[in-house]
Amino acid sequence: MSRQIHSVRALEILDSRGTPTLRVFAQLDDGTIGAASVPSGASTGEHEAVELRDGDPHRYLGKGARKAVANVNAVIGPELHGFDWTEQARVDELLCQLDGTPNKGKLGANAILGVSQAIARAAAQSRGVPLYAYLGRPGARRLPVPMMNVMNGGKHADSSLDFQEFMIVPQGAPSFSEALRYGSETFQALKSLLHERGLSTGVGDEGGFAPALKSNEEACELIVAAITRAGYRPDEDIAIALDPAASSFFQDGAYSLSRSRQGNKSSREMIALYRAWLDRYPIVSLEDGLAENDWEGFQQLTAELGGRIQIVGDDILVTNPTYIRRAIAEKTCNAALIKLNQIGTVTETVEAIELCRDAGWGFVVSHRSGETEDGFIADFAVAMGGGQIKTGSLCRSERIAKYNRLLEIEAELGERAEYGKA
Ligand code: PGA
Ligand code: ZN
């Protein structure tokens, strides 16, 4: 049986912000076609793999993706022709070699990731197995606990919140589908609470509300009230996770909580603030509580609060095995956010996850604020089995697409499905 890649080709499409991105189609010799679309972040880490943009101010404000498309069609395609599609690691290695830079800046991580994912999809289809089974270990069947971003601030909304993401975590639900229902009902309760207070119910980039609140604390208070109103117990049924994305308000050596008029804070003062919040709100996870270059602060944060909650590194680790290795050695965090496009290939992402597993760390498979209707990360989260996913609020189809795919997987697994953090 032929196991050769016939061709790959890309198309410039739009993401959920109306900004260009890529959809890549991989065709195998047996006629199978697998497709994948690439997401895009707004609060990107400094050391992320590079997203290639055209820079032509006359098209999409310089954000066109035609160069990346051309790199797929004219550079990567011919090289992959005839390559064995069963060897994902070798495909990804070839992609890295063709690029030749440490940050994928030549061909573009957007071009490379699209190809890497499209080949994985085509391979799964050709084998006649679902993507989560193809990418996963035998018996992959753990559905993730969702971290649902119901209140948006920072770079994702023009709200009064310095912190970027306030998420609900239905950790006490008996199954993924029930978790989704808990989350959706809480989202609706939050909407009615905001409405009653005369606050906006318009949503930000990830589908969370973006009202003009007086403080970051008020967001937590409203969420706890919404959990209760929906008939759930804060903490036991539904907890809170935060992603302040602190790099985005770190200026001139200080954490500037200017939107909420709380002034400038040092790392120590930020840690003290989080400690106080842990005593008041049912917080179980804190991502990017400090800035991406504040390794010392992060270490302190983990030393002080890491025994009580999950300390997740996103911008500081950028899904990069090099940074994850250092962070494990220095006890910088105790979990990693995992974004395929931060590193750029499926194989390197799996390698990052293996490091987390070996260190006893948690890991959270994540979307980007700019997304498409592609549900790849739903399958990927089940395949990797870490039991955590972050994929936005309970509205906007590019977010719901991932939840709906997880519902399909749960139904397919039937009795075998498990739910919860590993
Ligand atoms: P981004 O935000 O996709 O805009 O980078 C997501 C995050 O910070 O987790
Ligand atoms: Zn983040």
4: CA distance to ligand 1 center in Å? 36
Helix (H, G, I), strand (E, B) or coil at 244: coil
* Residue in the structure block whose two tokens are 């911008």: 315
Q: Which tens digits make up the pLDDT trace of 306-353? A: 999 999 999 999 999 999 999 999 999 999 999 999 999 999 999 999
Ligand with an atom nearest the CA of residue 19: 1
pLDDT at 294 over 90: yes
Quick check: CB of 44 below 6 Å from ligand 1?
yes
Quick check: CB of 23 below 6 Å from ligand 1?
no
79: CA distance to ligand 2 center in Å? 35
pLDDT band at 2 (very low <50, low <70, confident <90, very high): confident
State the closest ligand 1 atom to the C-alpha of 366, by its place in the atom list counted from 1. 9
In contact, 104 and 62? CB cutoff 8 Å: no
Pairwise pLDDT comparison (155 vs 73), residue with the higher score: 73
Number of neighbouring beta carbons within 10 Å of residue 232: 21
Share of the chain above pLDDT 90, in %: 95
In contact, 399 and 207? CB cutoff 8 Å: yes
Quick check: CB of 16 below 6 Å from ligand 1?
no
Rg of the chain on CA atoms, in Å: 21
Quick check: CB of 243 below 6 Å from ligand 1?
yes
What are the tokens at 230? 């929906």
For residue 380, give the nearest of 78, 166, 132, 126 by alpha carbon: 132
If 0-12 CB within 10 Å is exposed, 13-18 middle and 19+ buried, where does residue 73 land?
middle
287: CA distance to ligand 2 center in Å? 6
Domains with residue ranges and CATH for the chain: 5-128 (3.30.390.10), 142-419 (3.20.20.120)
In contact, 143 and 409? CB cutoff 8 Å: yes
Quick check: CB of 121 below 6 Å from ligand 1?
no
167: CA distance to ligand 2 center in Å? 12
- CA distances for 394 relative to 123, 150, 280, 366, 398, angstroms: 31, 7, 25, 15, 10
Residue 26's H or E segment, with its range, is: strand 20-28
| Separation of alpha carbons 73 and 10, rounded Å | 6
pLDDT confidence of residue 260: 81
**311 CB contacts (<8 Å, ≥6 apart)?**
286, 289, 298, 301, 302, 305, 333, 334, 335
Q: Which tens digits make up the pLDDT trace of 41-77? A: 999 999 999 999 999 999 999 999 999 999 999 999 9
pLDDT confidence of residue 119: 98
Mean residue pLDDT of the chain comes to 97
pLDDT at 191 over 70: yes
Pocket test for ligand 1, best of 110, 147, 164 (most atoms within 8 A of CB): 164
pLDDT confidence of residue 168: 98
CA 271 to chain centre: 24
Quick check: CB of 43 below 6 Å from ligand 1?
yes
Quick check: CB of 94 below 6 Å from ligand 1?
no
What are the tokens at 388? 């955590």
State the closest ligand 1 atom to the C-alpha of 39, by its place in the atom list counted from 1. 3
Q: Which tens digits make up the pLDDT trace of 261-290? A: 889 999 999 999 999 999 999 999 999 999
What are the tokens at 331? 């006890």
Angle at 143 between CA 372 and CA 206, to 5 degrees: 30
152: CA distance to ligand 1 center in Å? 11
pLDDT confidence of residue 262: 86
| Separation of alpha carbons 297 and 303, rounded Å | 10
Ligand with an atom nearest the CA of residue 153: 1
Q: Which tens digits make up the pLDDT trace of 347-394? A: 999 999 999 999 999 999 999 999 999 999 999 999 999 999 999 999
Pocket test for ligand 1, best of 366, 371, 372, 390 (most atoms within 8 A of CB): 366
Buried b / exposed e along 330-347 (16+ C-beta atoms within 10 A): eebbbbbbbbbbbbbbbb
Pocket test for ligand 1, best of 43, 243, 319, 364 (most atoms within 8 A of CB): 43
The residues with which 84 forms a beta bridge, in sequence order, are 4
DSSP assignment of 354-421 equals HHHHHHT-EEEEE--SB--S--HHHHHHHHHT--EEE---S-SHHHHHHHHHHHHHHHHHGGG-EES-
pLDDT at 157 over 80: yes
| Separation of alpha carbons 250 and 290, rounded Å | 8
| Separation of alpha carbons 298 and 78, rounded Å | 45
- CA distances for 136 relative to 3, 130, 140, 284, 290, angstroms: 20, 10, 6, 27, 33
Quick check: CB of 42 below 6 Å from ligand 1?
yes
Q: Return the active site residues.
A: 206, 339
pLDDT confidence of residue 84: 98
pLDDT confidence of residue 1: 67
| Separation of alpha carbons 142 and 409, rounded Å | 10
